[in-house]
Amino acid sequence: MGIFNKLSTVIKSNINDLISRAENPEKMLNQIILDMRDQLAKAKREVAAAIADERKLKAQLEHEVKQQRDWQKRAMLAVKEGRDDLAKQALLRQQEHAERAAVLQQTWEAQAAETEKLKGSLRQLNDKIEEAKRKRNLLIAKQKRAQAQRRIHETMSGLSDTSAFEAFNRMADKIEEEERRSVAQAEVNAELGGDTLESEFLRLEAGPGGADVEDQLLALKADMGLIAAPASEAPKQLEAGDDEAQVDGVAEAEAHEVEAEEMSEAETDAIPEAELLSEFDKLEKSAEG
């Protein structure tokens, strides 16, 4: 069993040395497994030698037992033939082989028992190495998970540092402030610079915003026959004898024109769409009635 104590001491010393200078845990674990396998190979060679010695002793024991039996047979043959002198010599040889066989029997039994213990220890060592290989895979997985968690924590700690974001926000505020100042400066320059008199005349020439609507309203009334169509030439003089209906039509048209002018002056603000639709509904109902 001293061989396994020696192997255990060598393995422990190698492992402690690897752990003390471990830089890459996965690499170190693989190296430890390789060292264990090397020691296992050496143990197998030692156990094989012990088994060979045990079998050699057994072969010697079997030879001595065979010689003992052979000389016993010879002694019996000599007695049958009346050769007591030869029988005595055969019995002496048979006794010598019996004594050697007895010694070899004890030696072989002790060697066989030791060999069985070595075989058991070798199996245990092999099982431990296989267990170490399984644990190695588990330890490597844990080590990789620990590395991943460490990288995550480092990343999160970097994200928790808001100095970069604060600097970005300050720069964005600065750019927006510069933009507001540029717009304000442009407005000031527009107010103070240029020909203000020309700007006023341009606004007058543009006219009120509702001029187009007034023209469309007058054109619509003319199409409906409510008012006379506008003409480029001077209006004709009414001749004597015109009927009263024509006079009434002219008066009604003038009244509508006055009403349109008053409406255009009152419609400085647009009527809400809901109110406008409501008024048209009323008109449609009254027209149907």
Reported as a single tens digit per residue, the pLDDT across 113-125 is 988 988 888 888 8
The first and second tokens of residue 274, run together, are 């809901």
With a cut of 50, say whether residue 234 has pLDDT above it. no
Residue 177 forms part of a structural domain = no
The answer to whether residue 172 is domain-embedded is: no
pLDDT value of position 241: 47
Token readout for 6 is 């020696």
Checking if the pLDDT of 39 tops 90, the result is: no
Residue entry with tokens 């109902």 = 285
114 and 9 within one domain:
yes
* Per-residue tokens: 3: 């061989």
Residue 31's Cα: distance from chain center in Å? 32
- Whether residue 51 is predicted with pLDDT greater than 50 in this model: the reply is yes
Does residue 185 belong to any structural domain of this protein?
no
Q: Nearest Cα to 146, choosing from 230, 14, 26, 276?
A: 26
The torsion of the CA quartet 58, 108, 1, 7, rounded to 10 degrees, works out to -20
Q: What is the pLDDT of residue 71?
A: 92
Is pLDDT of 108 > 80?
Answer: yes
Do 51 and 120 sit in the same domain of this protein?
A: yes
Give a yes or no: residue 288 inside a domain: no
pLDDT over 90 (residue 62) = yes
140/212 same-domain check = no
Number of domains making up the chain? 2
94-107 pLDDT, tens digit per residue, is 999 999 999 999 99
Element (H, E) at 15: helix 2-20
Same domain, 152 and 212: no
* Structural domain includes residue 98: yes
- The pTM assigned to this predicted structure is 0.43
Domain co-membership, 8 together with 151: yes
Q: What is the extent of the structural domain holding 218? A: 208-229+243-271
Examine residue 191 and state whether it is found in any structural domain, yes or no.
Answer: no
Query: What DSSP line would sit under 86-118, residue for residue?
Result: HHHHHHHHHHHHHHHHHHHHHHHHHHHHHHHHH
Mean pLDDT computed over every residue of the chain: 75
For the stretch 238-275, pLDDT in tens is 444 444 445 455 555 555 555 545 554 444 455 677 77
- Tell me: do 138 and 250 sit in the same domain: no
* Whether 122 contacts 47, CB under 8 Å: yes
Same domain, 22 and 132: yes
Q: Which residues lie closer than 8 Å to 235 by C-beta, 6 or more apart?
A: none
